Copies of this chain bind each other. A is one copy, B any other.
Amino acid sequence: MESKTVELRNLVKNNSPLVHNITNVVVTNFTANGLYAIGASPVMAYAKEEVGDMASISQALVLNIGTLTSTEVEAMFIAGESANKHGVPIILDPVGVGATPYRTQTAKELLNRLSIQVVRGNAAEIANLIDEQVQMHGVDSKVEINNLADLAKKAANKLNTIIVMTGKTDLITNGEILFEVRNGHPMLTKVTGTGCLLSSVVAAFCSQSDDKTTACAAAVSFYGIAAEKAIEVNQSKGPGHFQMNFIDQLYNITDETIVNNIKIKQTQ
């Protein structure tokens, strides 16, 4: 996986894929800067009058329901149908699914009516998408790894999509193959939008490969390594500086650093 991850990272940097984000108002700036840092071209467009056109010329489309409104959901369907028609992969980030019925219902409708290639969320969000009653403590801290793998695979099969389930260990599965990624750092949970940006980075990597499950695993590992390196230079500073150091690392990280720090295991 080292060479595949290095290859995809460099393809993103060299090809600058246009990633169309319909995302929440909290993370727009951080997402755009993170995509620029890895060499991708971010675009945000929300108007129903243009999202179809924009999605059709993009290399990937990210739908993030973090601050959804009915107007935005309408735009998501238009963009999504255009993406499907033009063979543009869609990545869904079901932020906060389970917190309110409206979120849960909207995420399910998006999955029903569109062909979505990847869903990126935490264990609670993934569980809620398939109506699983998973006993969570804090989200996923006390749940056994085997259960999470079962949950991810079940969701992948039921929703007919690749699942990227992030947590202490990140799991990536298409329902058959399963990757475990053990890169990353807990400080990521102290900065808003790190999950959302990951979804967009996954989108950028997916745009550069037909083997999207492997591309997802590579993106998640690359992202986690950048976080680890950011912590090394962050020293005793807090999440304010971490945010900047993390963007710097997404930009600066070398092939050698990837090779030396990657922790991906294909377990199934």
Contact = CB atoms under 8 A, between A and B. Distances in A.
Nearest to A241: B244
Interface in A180-225: 189-193
Nearest to A26: B28
A262 interface: no
A45 B100 contact: yes
A230 to B, nearest CB: 9
A250 B236 CA distance: 13
Given A243-B240, A248-B237, A43 B96 contact: yes
B28 A102 contact: no
Contacts of A46: 25, 67, 69
A99 B51 CA distance: 11
Given A50-B102, A238-B252, 14 more contacts: A29-B30, A33-B192, A37-B240, A44-B66, A46-B67, A47-B102, A50-B100, A57-B99, A69-B71, A190-B251, A238-B248, A238-B251, A239-B248, A240-B247
A49 B251 CA distance: 39
A27 interface: yes
Nearest to A247: B240
B240 A33 contact: yes
Nearest to A192: B32
Interface in A1-49: 24-30, 32-33, 36-37, 42-47, 49
A44 B29 contact: no
B49 A70 contact: yes
Contacts of A102: 47, 49-50, 53
